[in-house]
Amino acid sequence: MNIKTLVTISLLLFSTLNWAHSDLDVSIPEAGETMNTPPDEIVLIYTEPVKLVKFELINADNQAVDTGFKPSFEDHAEFVIKVNDLDNGLYTVLWTIMGGDGHKGEGDFTFTLKQSKPDKHANHHSN
Protein backbone atom coordinates (compact mmCIF):
# COMPACT_ATOMS: atom_id res chain seq x y z
CA MET A 1 0.00 0.00 0.00
CA ASN A 2 1.47 3.32 -1.00
CA ILE A 3 1.55 6.38 1.23
CA LYS A 4 -1.12 8.22 -0.80
CA THR A 5 -3.59 5.36 -0.30
CA LEU A 6 -2.77 5.17 3.41
CA VAL A 7 -3.31 8.91 3.85
CA THR A 8 -6.61 8.77 1.94
CA ILE A 9 -7.90 5.86 4.07
CA SER A 10 -6.78 7.63 7.25
CA LEU A 11 -8.57 10.84 6.27
CA LEU A 12 -11.76 8.99 5.40
CA LEU A 13 -11.68 7.07 8.67
CA PHE A 14 -10.98 10.23 10.69
CA SER A 15 -13.74 12.20 8.99
CA THR A 16 -16.20 9.35 9.63
CA LEU A 17 -15.27 9.24 13.32
CA ASN A 18 -15.42 13.01 13.55
CA TRP A 19 -19.05 12.99 12.35
CA ALA A 20 -20.13 10.29 14.83
CA HIS A 21 -22.08 12.72 17.02
CA SER A 22 -25.15 11.86 19.02
CA ASP A 23 -28.39 11.72 17.12
CA LEU A 24 -32.02 10.97 17.83
CA ASP A 25 -32.33 7.21 18.31
CA VAL A 26 -35.99 6.80 19.34
CA SER A 27 -38.96 9.13 19.50
CA ILE A 28 -42.39 8.60 20.98
CA PRO A 29 -44.48 9.18 18.97
CA GLU A 30 -42.42 7.70 16.16
CA ALA A 31 -41.63 9.74 13.06
CA GLY A 32 -44.54 9.50 10.65
CA GLU A 33 -46.84 7.83 13.18
CA THR A 34 -50.60 8.42 13.06
CA MET A 35 -52.10 8.36 16.55
CA ASN A 36 -55.74 7.80 17.53
CA THR A 37 -55.33 9.32 20.99
CA PRO A 38 -53.37 12.46 21.85
CA PRO A 39 -50.02 11.89 23.53
CA ASP A 40 -49.48 13.17 27.08
CA GLU A 41 -45.79 13.56 26.39
CA ILE A 42 -43.17 13.46 23.68
CA VAL A 43 -40.11 11.35 24.42
CA LEU A 44 -36.76 11.90 22.70
CA ILE A 45 -33.99 9.34 23.23
CA TYR A 46 -30.53 10.09 21.85
CA THR A 47 -27.63 7.75 21.12
CA GLU A 48 -25.56 9.38 23.87
CA PRO A 49 -26.11 12.00 26.59
CA VAL A 50 -26.66 15.52 25.25
CA LYS A 51 -28.15 18.85 26.27
CA LEU A 52 -31.54 19.52 24.69
CA VAL A 53 -31.22 23.25 24.02
CA LYS A 54 -34.30 23.77 21.84
CA PHE A 55 -37.62 21.96 21.46
CA GLU A 56 -40.60 23.17 19.46
CA LEU A 57 -43.90 21.50 18.67
CA ILE A 58 -45.58 23.09 15.64
CA ASN A 59 -49.22 22.39 14.80
CA ALA A 60 -50.91 22.10 11.38
CA ASP A 61 -51.54 25.88 11.36
CA ASN A 62 -47.77 26.43 11.70
CA GLN A 63 -48.26 27.73 15.25
CA ALA A 64 -46.01 26.77 18.17
CA VAL A 65 -47.73 24.68 20.82
CA ASP A 66 -46.86 25.76 24.38
CA THR A 67 -45.08 22.88 26.11
CA GLY A 68 -43.33 24.82 28.85
CA PHE A 69 -40.00 23.44 27.58
CA LYS A 70 -36.88 24.74 29.30
CA PRO A 71 -33.40 24.08 27.85
CA SER A 72 -31.34 21.37 29.54
CA PHE A 73 -28.15 22.34 31.35
CA GLU A 74 -27.25 18.72 32.09
CA ASP A 75 -26.48 15.90 29.69
CA HIS A 76 -29.17 13.25 29.39
CA ALA A 77 -29.89 10.58 26.79
CA GLU A 78 -33.68 10.77 27.33
CA PHE A 79 -35.98 13.77 27.49
CA VAL A 80 -39.71 13.78 28.27
CA ILE A 81 -41.72 16.84 27.27
CA LYS A 82 -45.30 17.08 28.53
CA VAL A 83 -48.00 18.13 26.07
CA ASN A 84 -51.68 18.93 26.62
CA ASP A 85 -54.86 19.28 24.58
CA LEU A 86 -53.64 18.54 21.07
CA ASP A 87 -56.20 18.82 18.28
CA ASN A 88 -56.35 16.61 15.21
CA GLY A 89 -53.76 17.37 12.57
CA LEU A 90 -50.14 17.14 11.57
CA TYR A 91 -47.50 18.09 14.16
CA THR A 92 -43.83 18.82 13.59
CA VAL A 93 -41.25 18.35 16.34
CA LEU A 94 -38.12 20.48 15.98
CA TRP A 95 -35.15 19.86 18.25
CA THR A 96 -31.61 21.14 18.76
CA ILE A 97 -29.04 19.38 20.93
CA MET A 98 -25.52 20.14 22.07
CA GLY A 99 -23.15 17.22 22.52
CA GLY A 100 -20.41 16.92 25.10
CA ASP A 101 -17.92 17.98 22.43
CA GLY A 102 -19.78 21.28 21.94
CA HIS A 103 -21.15 20.41 18.51
CA LYS A 104 -24.79 21.21 17.82
CA GLY A 105 -27.16 18.84 16.12
CA GLU A 106 -30.70 19.44 15.02
CA GLY A 107 -33.51 17.53 13.47
CA ASP A 108 -37.23 17.18 13.09
CA PHE A 109 -39.98 14.66 12.59
CA THR A 110 -43.72 14.71 12.16
CA PHE A 111 -46.65 12.77 13.55
CA THR A 112 -50.38 12.99 12.95
CA LEU A 113 -53.20 13.00 15.48
CA LYS A 114 -56.40 11.61 14.04
CA GLN A 115 -58.93 11.06 16.81
CA SER A 116 -62.14 9.48 15.65
CA LYS A 117 -65.18 11.37 16.80
CA PRO A 118 -67.76 9.21 18.57
CA ASP A 119 -70.75 8.41 16.40
CA LYS A 120 -73.76 9.91 18.17
CA HIS A 121 -76.08 7.53 16.36
CA ALA A 122 -74.13 4.33 16.97
CA ASN A 123 -76.21 3.26 19.98
CA HIS A 124 -79.54 4.02 18.31
CA HIS A 125 -79.26 1.39 15.58
CA SER A 126 -80.37 -2.16 16.18
CA ASN A 127 -80.26 -5.18 13.90
Taking only the tens of pLDDT, the chain with its 127 residues reads 666 654 455 444 443 344 446 889 999 999 999 999 999 999 999 999 999 999 999 999 999 999 999 998 899 999 999 999 899 999 999 999 998 888 899 999 999 999 987 554 444 444 4
pLDDT at position 101 is: 82
Name which of 29, 25, 78, 20 is nearest 49 in CA terms: 78
State the pTM of this model.
0.75
| Domain encompassing residue 111 | 18-116
In a domain, 68, yes or no: yes
Strand segments (E) across the chain: 24-28, 34-35, 41-58, 64-65, 76-82, 89-98, 104-113
Residue 86 lies in a domain: yes
Asked if the structure places residue 23 within a domain, the reply is: yes
Please give the Cα distance from 99 to 25 (Å, whole number): 14
Task: Give the CB-side neighbour count of residue 76, counting CA atoms within 13 A.
Answer: 12
**pLDDT given at position 122:** 46
What pLDDT is stored for residue 22 in this prediction? 81
Phi, psi of 12 (to 5 degrees): -65, -45
Cβ pair 105, 51 in contact under 8 A = no
In a domain, 74, yes or no: yes
pLDDT value at residue 46: 96
Number of domains in the chain: 1
The pLDDT score that the predictor gives to residue 21 is: 66
The answer to whether residue 62 sits within a structural domain is yes
Is there a domain that residue 9 lies in? no
Q: Which of 73, 113, 72 is nearest to 95 (CA)?
A: 72
Is 55 within the bounds of a domain? yes
Domain with residue 87: its CATH number is 2.60.40.1220
Asked if residue 42 is part of any domain, the answer here is yes
